Amino acid sequence: MRSAPIATVLGAISQVTSRAVADPEFAGWVSQVGSQGAERAQRAAATTAVVLSARTILLMADLHLF
């Protein structure tokens, strides 16, 4: 079954991006840039984390991993 490794990879990516949004130490370089794009980059990271989390949950539910 090839879908299980994909779910694992998506789950790992989701955890990393979620941590980057929640932990200022982990993603501090984004906020320290001081440019106008820094806030946009943080919003994009937050949106990406939410989307990846939702996709992972839906994929895991589809694979009956819950």
Tell me the per-residue pLDDT of 2-25, one tens digit each, with 9 for 90 and over.
Answer: 555 666 666 666 666 655 555 555
pTM over 0.85: no
Mind listing the pLDDT tens digit for each residue in 28-37? 555 555 566 7
**Domain coordinates in residue numbering, the chain:** 3-62
pLDDT digits (tens, 9 = 90+) for 44-56: 888 888 888 888 8
Query: What are the helix (H) ranges across 1-66?
Result: 3-22, 28-32, 37-62
CB 14 within 8 A of CB 53: yes
Q: What is residue 64's predicted lDDT score, i.e. its pLDDT?
A: 78
**What pLDDT was estimated at residue 9?**
64
